[in-house]
Amino acid sequence: MKIEQIYTGCLAQGAYYIESNGEAAIVDPLREFKPYMDRLHKGNAKLKYVLETHFHADFVSGHLDLARQTGAQIVYGPSAKAEFNFHEAMDNEMLPLGNVFIKVLHTPGHTMESSCFLVIDEHGKEHALFSGDTLFIGDVGRPDLAQKEKLHKKYWRVIYTIHCEIK
C-alpha cells in the first residue's frame, strides 16, 4: 500500500493518492490533474475512485475530469446531491481498493454529505484517515454548534489512534 500527500501551498490544500495492488484512489483532487495521472502511470495503476470528503467551496476540484479521463467512480457521502454521476456512499460502507479497504465515515456538520475515509489494510489495521475540512486532530471543522460535541466524541478514537501512529 502506498499513500502520498500532494500539497498545494498557495491554497493550503492537500490531496491524497492511495494505491494498492494496481488500483488507486485520489482524495479531494485539485483541478489540475496531471500530477495524479503521472502517479498512476508511474505505479502502473488504474484509478478506481475519486473520493470527495465534501463539496468544496474554496477550490475547484478535478473530480469530473479525472473520472472522464480514467473511468473512475466519483464518491460522495450520504445525502449528496449533484448533477453528474457519482456513487452516494453510505456510512460504514467498505470500498475495496486492491488489497485494502476504504471505510466511509459519514460526518455531517461542515456540510451535510461530509464524510471521512479511513484506509484499512488487509489485516484490519487502520492506517490513515482523510477528513477534508470535517475533522482535525482534537477538533471539528466548522460544524453548526449542536453537532460539534457529538462529532468530536464519535470519532475521537480514530483520530487519536492515527495521530499516535504517525508521530
- Crossing angle (nearest 10°) for helices 63-70 and 34-42: 40
Q: What's the pLDDT tens digit per position in 40-93?
A: 999 999 999 999 986 555 445 777 888 999 999 999 888 878 788 889 999 999
Q: Is the pLDDT of residue 153 over 80?
A: no
Per-residue confidence (pLDDT) for residue 163, from 0 to 100: 46
Q: What's the pLDDT tens digit per position in 57-66?
A: 544 577 788 8
Domain with 60, as residue range(s), is 2-166
The CATH number of the domain holding residue 73 is 3.60.15.10
| Overall domain count for the chain | 1
Give buried/exposed letters for 135-161 (b at 16+ CB in 10 A, else e).
beeeebbebeeeeeeebbeebeebbee
When the pLDDT of each residue in the chain is averaged and rounded to a whole number, the result is 79
